[in-house]
Structure 1
């Protein structure tokens, strides 16, 4: 399966679109606000750029795209005001796979920019330039030493491809308690290759002293088949197996289908960063999020 060709969030603004069903992801972006602000403050104070290049990798579309960009730009403006500096120009690069709904992003861009100007009440907002960058972040996307700040939220758990050698994962569509050991190993190896490549590419693109804030859908357990990350896929596999029994889908099609995702543990993320060697970890935190996020809003 060509993941880069078929994987994307549901486009548009309809009832089943990602834009209308991504409150959980927005909550996670809000939870990491203090980490982003600290990274941006330290970055700006150490480099004092006249032009700030910001990349959101796996930007998707809808409110979360604009929410993240707004939060980042307002953080830059805040530190400028604290230092009594004029606003830099903001270059914003929005990246996702080619099938992403970039049209929706740019359709609402002017109204977003106007809203942002109104929200930056102290001082004048620096000029903002927006660019869509379709392509996989498991490869080079930008010129060398061109980015100041890179952000990615709930995207890096997606792999560049379904791991090879998982044909014997019968009855499952992901890592599960019943998966053979070679399946768990294949998924981990694919994560290692992908994340290491991601780090290598970003190391070439980020300026010296630049910063990254990455948020994964991950797990606390060291067991890759633990319920905290695999249960939802086990439920889906049960439904699909019932559909096989009812003759709605063919068994061989189910056996050939596996989800290209890996939810790493903190130690696995740390290990790959240290092995690749281009970055230092300033902060590594874990947080629990209620998947039924609407219960927390009552």
Structure 2
């Protein structure tokens, strides 16, 4: 599987689109808001740039894409009023792999800017947007061209499926029955990828620039990360649905055995270790937060657009739709489109059963870093 070719969220605005099924990601972004406010406040107050360059890496599409940009601009404008400074101009760079639905983002930009002008008293400075397709595991921006880098729920995705895991039969990720070499191979691939990411951002950020990353991770620090934690369990449950279809002859055994998810959910210590090894950043804060598999259940007081909430009470449906919006392109590429309705129908039932019996959560790591001078 060529990850850069098939790793993308479902585009558009239909029932199975990422735009309408990204509540888990939205909750994670909301929980990390105080850290971003701290980062942008300290950055702007200490550097006072006349032109502020903001990059969102793994931006995807839909309501979440411009949410962080909006709050960053609002925070800076509040600082400008407080300090009696003229608003800077904003250069916003939205990065994702080439298959991302950039067109949906571009179509929404004018209404986004108009809305932001009305929400901020006195208006905002000039705002310029650029779409930047390409893998963030390589260089995607000019040398020292960025002030603030943000990424949420993207860095758990790796540049490729690890090599040497042909013996991971019956699993599609690090499962409880995976041989011990599988977890090691995934971890080593994460180390290579995250190290490359840090090296590239160190070249692209200005000195004293800030970076805030939220990564789907795990609390478990054990060497073998396969556990009941959400990021691992979710794929094990999907493997159950695929295995049932394999037994019934709907998919071939060799197809299942050759399919592995290019994802690694690190522990906080694994993230910090790579930052310290690379050496270009000071770690300011590292925090963990938990997100319910169905975030609508415990997100009181938040209103969602009605078209995104048709089945708020159906936890299995909500999460199955979320996972479909993320995984469908990979599954179609490997198994073919004919299996999709069947696999997610089975997956929904498995999820609903598990969620009815125990508390199920995703673990998120958010890290704030400053580029060393």
Match of 1:133 in 2: 132
Match of 1:83 in 2: 83
Deviations 1:85-110 (A, max 9, x none): 11000000000000000000001110
Match of 2:98 in 1: 98
Match of 1:180 in 2: 179
Secondary structure of the corresponding residue to residue 44 of structure 1: helix
2:18 pairs with 1:18 = yes
In the TM superposition, what is the alpha-carbon distance from 1:26 to its structure 2 partner?
1.2
In the TM superposition, what is the alpha-carbon distance from 1:156 to its structure 2 partner?
0.3
Deviations 1:176-198 (A, max 9, x none): 11111110000000000000000
Map 1:30-45; keep pairs closer than 5 Å.
30-45=30-45
Runs of 4+ in 1 over 4 A off after TM superposition: none
In the TM superposition, what is the alpha-carbon distance from 1:141 to its structure 2 partner?
0.4
Secondary structure of the corresponding residue to residue 292 of structure 2: coil
In structure 1, distance between residues paired with 2:142 and 2:113: 26
Match of 2:273 in 1: 271
Unaligned runs of 5+ in 2: 301-373
In structure 2, distance between residues paired with 1:130 and 1:255: 43
In the TM superposition, what is the alpha-carbon distance from 1:218 to its structure 2 partner?
0.4
In structure 2, distance between residues paired with 1:177 and 1:124: 54
In structure 2, distance between residues paired with 1:278 and 1:260: 27
Match of 1:295 in 2: 297
Unaligned runs of 5+ in 1: none
Map 1:254-269; keep pairs closer than 5 Å.
254-269=256-271
- Structure with greater proportional strand content: 2
Match of 1:166 in 2: 165
Secondary structure of the corresponding residue to residue 282 of structure 1: strand
Structure 1 length-normalised TM: 0.98
In the TM superposition, what is the alpha-carbon distance from 1:51 to its structure 2 partner?
0.1
Match of 2:228 in 1: 227
Query: Alignment RMSD, CA only?
Result: 0.8
In the TM superposition, what is the alpha-carbon distance from 1:296 to its structure 2 partner?
1.6
Deviations 1:42-82 (A, max 9, x none): 11111110000000000000100121211111111121122
In structure 2, distance between residues paired with 1:279 and 1:191: 18
Secondary structure of the corresponding residue to residue 66 of structure 2: helix
Match of 2:144 in 1: 145
In structure 1, distance between residues paired with 2:260 and 2:215: 20
Secondary structure of the corresponding residue to residue 247 of structure 1: coil
Secondary structure of the corresponding residue to residue 92 of structure 2: strand
Secondary structure of the corresponding residue to residue 94 of structure 2: strand
Contact 1:158 1:262 in 2 (8 A): yes
In the TM superposition, what is the alpha-carbon distance from 1:124 to its structure 2 partner?
3.1
In the TM superposition, what is the alpha-carbon distance from 1:297 to its structure 2 partner?
3.7
Contact 1:166 1:183 in 2 (8 A): yes
Match of 1:280 in 2: 282
In structure 2, distance between residues paired with 1:225 and 1:116: 44
Deviations 1:1-25 (A, max 9, x none): 1100111000000111000001221
In structure 2, distance between residues paired with 1:244 and 1:289: 32
In structure 1, distance between residues paired with 2:150 and 2:81: 23
